[in-house]
Amino acid sequence: MSAATGSLPADTRGRDAAIEASGWGRPFRFVQWRNAAFWVYLFAMVAGAVSLVRFYGPGTGVYGVGLGSGVLLFSLYAIPWLLLLSHHNRYTSLPPAMLLVAFLWGAVPATYWIALRANTAALSLYGKLFGNAWVHDWGAGLTAPFTEETAKALALVLLIGMAPRLVRSPYDGLVIGAFTGLGLQLSEDVLYAFNATTSNFGADQVGSAWGIFVGRAAAGIVSHALFSAVFCSGLMWLLGRAGPRRVARGLLLMAAAVLAHSSWDNMAAYGNALDGGAGTILLMIVIAAAELVLLWLTFRLAAPQEQGWIRAILASEARTGVLTDEEVRAAGGDRRTRRAYRRSVRGRAARRSARHVLAAAHDLAQALARGGGRDTAEVVHARAEIARLRSRPGEPA
C-alpha cells in the first residue's frame, strides 16, 4: 500500500476518545498548592529524609567508606534497571517527572519513614509473642510483604490524587509500581550494605559492601520492582479507573504479589524444612520462575488496553494513507505482532526500515496525544518523518 499524507476525516471520535481515556500527552505538574495529595507527598518526603539522616548520621564518620561504597555500587546497578523500566514505559507512556516522583517515594519515605519503622515494630511484637528463633525464621516473610507493599502502593494512590487524568490503566499502575519498587529496592540495598559494614565493626568496609552487592544484585531481578508492579497493577483493576472494574482480578494479583514477596523472604526457612541447603536452592529457582511468570501474566493482562488506545489514535492515519492498516496493527500490537509484521516485509533493508516506520508511527501517536488530536507542528513533522522514511531505498511501499 502506498503512503501519502492528507487531511484527517471528520470522524475522529475514536481517536479523541482514546486520547481522553488514556490521558496520554497530558503534562504532569508536581507543585500543586491546592492539592492535599501534594502536601502529603511533601510531608512524607521531609519525614523520610529526616529518618534517613537519623539512621545514617551517627555512623557516617566511622562507616562512611562502606556506606559510600554501597551508594556507588547500587547507583551503577540502577542504570540498567532504569533503562529497562523506561523501555517498558511504552504504549501511552507516562511523563518521566511522574516516574521520578514515584521512584523517590520508594527510595525515601516508603523505606525510611514507613517500612523501616513498621517492620521494626512488627518484629518486636512477634519476638514478644513467639520468641526470637521464630522471628529469625518467619518474621521477615510475615511482616515486609504487608508493610512494604502498602508503603509502595501509597505512591500510586498519591499520584492518582495529583494526576487523576494521567494515571488511568492497570499498565500505568504496573509502570509506576515498578519505579516505586526499584526506589525501595535500591534504598534497602544500601541499608543492607551499611548494616554489613557495621556488623563487621568497620573492618574491610569495601568488601562488606561488595558482598551485599553481589547477593542483592542477583536477587534484585525478582524483588521489589516486580512485587510492586504486580501489586499496583492489581490495585488499578480494583479501582477500575479507565475501563471495567475487575475486583476479583485486582485482589488476586495483589494477593499474589504479597505471597510472592512472603515466599521469597521466607525461602530459607521453607528450604531448610524441605531439604536443607539443597531445598533452599531448589525453592529459589522455583519461586523466581513463578514470580517471572506472574509478572509476564500481569503484563499480558494489562497491555491490551494500552495497545487498543494506540490503534484507535492511529486509525485515522490509516484512512488518510499516512500508515497502512498493517502498520497500525503492528504499532499498537505486542512484540510478537510487530515481529510478524517485520517478517512479512521482503528484504533485509526493508525490514530494518519497517522497524523505523513503526517507531515513527509511535512518535506520531504521541504527537497526536500531546496535541489533543489537532494537527500541531509536531504532528505535521511526525507525518513528514514517516513519508521521509518511506522515500528511502528498500522501504516497503
**Is 263 exposed, middle or buried (CB count within 10 Å of its CB: 0-12, 13-18, 19+)?**
middle
- 128-163, pLDDT tens digit by residue? 999 999 998 899 999 999 999 999 999 999 999 999
- Domain map (residue ranges) of the chain: 32-303, 321-390
How far is 242 from 169, CA to CA, in rounded Å?
A: 6
| pLDDT values of the chain reduced to their tens digit, one per residue, 397 residues | 434 444 555 458 889 999 999 999 999 999 999 999 999 999 999 999 999 999 999 988 899 999 999 999 999 999 999 999 999 998 999 999 999 999 999 999 999 999 999 999 999 999 999 999 999 889 999 999 999 999 999 999 999 999 999 999 999 999 999 999 999 999 999 999 999 999 998 889 999 999 999 989 988 889 999 999 999 999 999 999 888 899 999 999 999 999 999 999 999 888 888 777 888 889 999 999 999 999 999 999 999 999 999 999 999 998 888 999 999 999 999 888 988 988 888 888 888 888 899 999 999 999 999 999 999 999 999 999 999 988 765 555 5
- Name the residue among 48, 181, 188, 184 with its Cα closest to residue 114: 48
Report the distance separating Cα 205 and Cα 325, nearest Å. 60
- Cell 526493508 -> residue: 350
